[in-house]
Amino acid sequence: MALRETIERLRDARGEREDPTDIVDRWKGAVSRLYDDIAAWLKPYVDDGGLVLERVTKAVHEEATGAYEIDVLDIEVGTETVRLEPMGAVVIGALGRIDMSLLGSGDPLFLVLAGPAQQPTWNLVKPSKRTRSTALTKETFEATLEELLAAYGLRSGPTM
């Protein structure tokens, strides 16, 4: 009897699914606001020529939402580039994920959008410590950016 109740409950919930367009719009808005925050946090470094921020559009296709375009953020520092690349709005345990990595390193960190859909927050998750997350703030972002650049700066391998 329990299986029948579960099937009926799930069948009835089909009409409650969020419209894919709404999911994509919320995701794109959250990513854009994050990039705006990062630009504000890094403005002193951009103003003095220490780094360059560049948004580049990429195509994404998710089974649950279909195709859409979203911006990738490149943070260029000398010959190095740290990329923030949205991976998807529909991910297990979050409302979206962005991979943050030094190009060529192959070791991304994850920025995950979590919490209630009405007021989600960004968190930083290291792949080696997936059970722990750190709230994303100006300070934690700058520390992470510095850690990525320092760890791979000489391309001698990671030190994280």
What is the total residue count of the chain?
160
Q: How far apart are CA 79 and CA 128, in angstroms?
A: 27
Structure tokens at 139: 């300070």
pLDDT (tens digit, 9 = 90+) per residue, 57-115? 999 999 989 999 999 999 999 999 999 999 999 888 888 999 999 988 777 888 888 87
Does residue 12 surpass a pLDDT of 90?
A: no
* CB of 19 closer than 8 Å to CB of 30: no
- How far is Cα 89 from Cα 92, in angstroms, rounded to an integer? 10
pLDDT in tens, 104-119: 877 788 888 887 777 8
pLDDT band at 126 (very low <50, low <70, confident <90, very high): confident
Question: What is residue 158's predicted lDDT score, i.e. its pLDDT?
Answer: 47
Residue 63, token pair as written in the block = 């089974």
Task: Return the residue matching tokens 């009409």.
Answer: 15
- For residue 46, what pLDDT band results from cuts at 50, 70 and 90? very high
Residue 13: its pLDDT value, please?
55
- Residue in the structure block whose two tokens are 């979206």: 96
Six-digit token string for 14: 């089909």
Q: What are phi and psi of 152, to 5 degrees?
A: -115, 5
- CA dist 54 and 71 (Å) reads 9
